[in-house]
Amino acid sequence: MTTTRKLTVNQDIQAQNKRRAAELRSAFSDRGTFVVNLVSSPGAGKTSLLEATAKYWGNRRRIAVLVGDLATDRDADRLRPYVPVEQLTTGGACHLELSLVERGLQRLPDEDYEFLFIENIGNLVCPASHDLAEHLRVVVLSTTEGDDKPGKYPKMFRTSQAMVISKCDLLPHVPFSVDAAITDASLIQRDLSTFPVCSTTGEGIAAWCGFLDDARQRMRNVAGRHQEHVGN
Amino acid sequence: MHEISLVRSLLKQVERLCKQNDGTAVEQIEVEIGPLSGVEPLLVREAFEILSFGTGCAGSRFVIHEVPLKARCSDCQAEFELPSFVFVCSGCQSRAIQITSGNEFRLLNVTIQANQAANIPKPRGGGYETEHIA
Ligand SMILES: [Zn+2]
């Protein structure tokens, strides 16, 4: 004799992952490591932005990078002269998952970084649905793409807190308006901080790094308050 | 195509639930998907058909409820459905709106066949309830 039973679950399919990401994020906060998840379409200039960021800071900040790549380690090689880098190869998968990030972390030499950058796979769709324990999600939009891209990838722009407009040195030669991109993005996410940069000349990098420092300080203040709470 | 990895974890969760409840077969799986979930219902269905092959979920009914994108305005308190991904209040044009529905990719419920003997509901602390329908 068998019977039919309906089991009510009513739970997010990624509930377990989201819990794990939240735990990891708070461990990063306690350690003072501010985690930045960089997303974009392929070739938007995430690696160049990281190179420029690492050069700008030099030895003044301890930073590390986890580079997601489909198969090669070319991006990781470009960054290695500047900072500790670990490569996360997805073997063709279109996005990074938390388990890969955790594995990459174990291979990094130290753990007292002030900033950990995660360079996601070039894809404006899939990475939007995966929390990698980051404090900040930054979408990189290059001037060689359309300035109406935010509206085409709403989930990605809705879940990001900052937008870097890269390759601004090409603005005189391409049909891209920074204002139009900002307007388009603000219809999706009104609190998006925007940074026009040129990674090759270093233009805009100081403002971008200043923003990251401020964001990390805010995280430290919040983490400090939590610790006091636990201490009491 | 991250639908593949999401559906794979969905199938694992369903199989675990079925086993924990002494199920012998999975009859139906109901999920809900919102337009802002980042997953495409058609691709989710395809992924389900491919990945469920050879698992305990093969041949079960897979029901997808598509939920609308809705928001509440923090300025005028209006609740409304968003016809597109322009996040602006339809009443007062404010951009201070909170999404109330549309982000979800949720497993709602699973209907299983279970042995009569194992029919007594057991609290397992798994965060779900069971309901007898036959
Ligand atoms: Zn309003």
From CA A199, how far away is CA A210, in angstroms rounded?
15
Q: Which domain holds residue A141?
A: 25-218
Structure tokens at A119: 């360079």
Structure tokens at B98: 């909170």
Q: Is residue A132 part of a domain?
A: yes
- Distances in whole angstroms, Cα of residue A121 to Cα of each of A80, A86, A181, A224: 18, 14, 22, 33
Q: Is residue A224 part of a domain?
A: no
Q: Is residue A8 part of a domain?
A: no
Q: How many domains does chain B have?
A: 1
Of chain B residues 7-36, which have a CB less than 8 A from chain A? 9-10, 13, 17, 21, 23-24, 27, 31, 36
Closest by CA position to A223, among listed A16, A35, A3: A35
For residues A50-75, give the mean pLDDT. 90
Q: Is residue B39 part of a domain?
A: yes
Other Cβ atoms closer than 10 A to A78: 15
Asked if A164 and A140 touch (Cβ cutoff 8 Å), the reply is yes
Asked if B61 and B28 touch (Cβ cutoff 8 Å), the reply is yes
Q: List the binding residues of B for Zn(2+).
A: 73, 76, 89, 92
**pLDDT interval class at A208 (50, 70, 90):** very high
pLDDT tens for residues A23-42? 999 999 999 999 999 999 99
- Test mutation, B18, B85, B97, B112, chain A, max A CBs within 10 A: B85
Q: Is residue B38 part of a domain?
A: yes
pLDDT tens for residues A153-168? 999 999 999 999 999 9
- ipTM of the predicted structure? 0.82
B101 to chain A, any CB pair closer than 8 A? The answer is no
For the domain that residue B40 is a member of, what is the CATH number? Answer: 3.30.2320.50
B39 to chain A, any CB pair closer than 8 A? The answer is yes
Flag whether pLDDT at A109 surpasses 90. no
Q: How many domains does chain A have?
A: 1
Q: Which domain holds residue B7?
A: 1-68+101-114
How many Å lie between the centroid of ligand 1 and the Cα of residue B100? 14
B131 to chain A, any CB pair closer than 8 A? The answer is yes
Q: Is residue A5 part of a domain?
A: no
Q: Is residue B74 part of a domain?
A: no
What's CA A33's distance to the chain center, in Å? Answer: 14
For residues A207-219, give the mean pLDDT. 97
pLDDT tens for residues A43-60? 999 999 999 999 999 999
Give me the pLDDT at residue B134, please.
39
Q: What is the rounded average pLDDT for all residues in chain B?
A: 88
Structure tokens at A213: 């420092």
Cβ-based burial of B120 (10 A; exposed 0-12, middle 13-18, buried ≥19): exposed
Q: What is the rounded average pLDDT for all residues in chain A?
A: 92
Q: Sign (positive/negative) of CA torsion A153, A158, A160, A165?
A: positive
Asked if B18 and B110 touch (Cβ cutoff 8 Å), the reply is yes
Give me the pLDDT at residue A227, please.
65
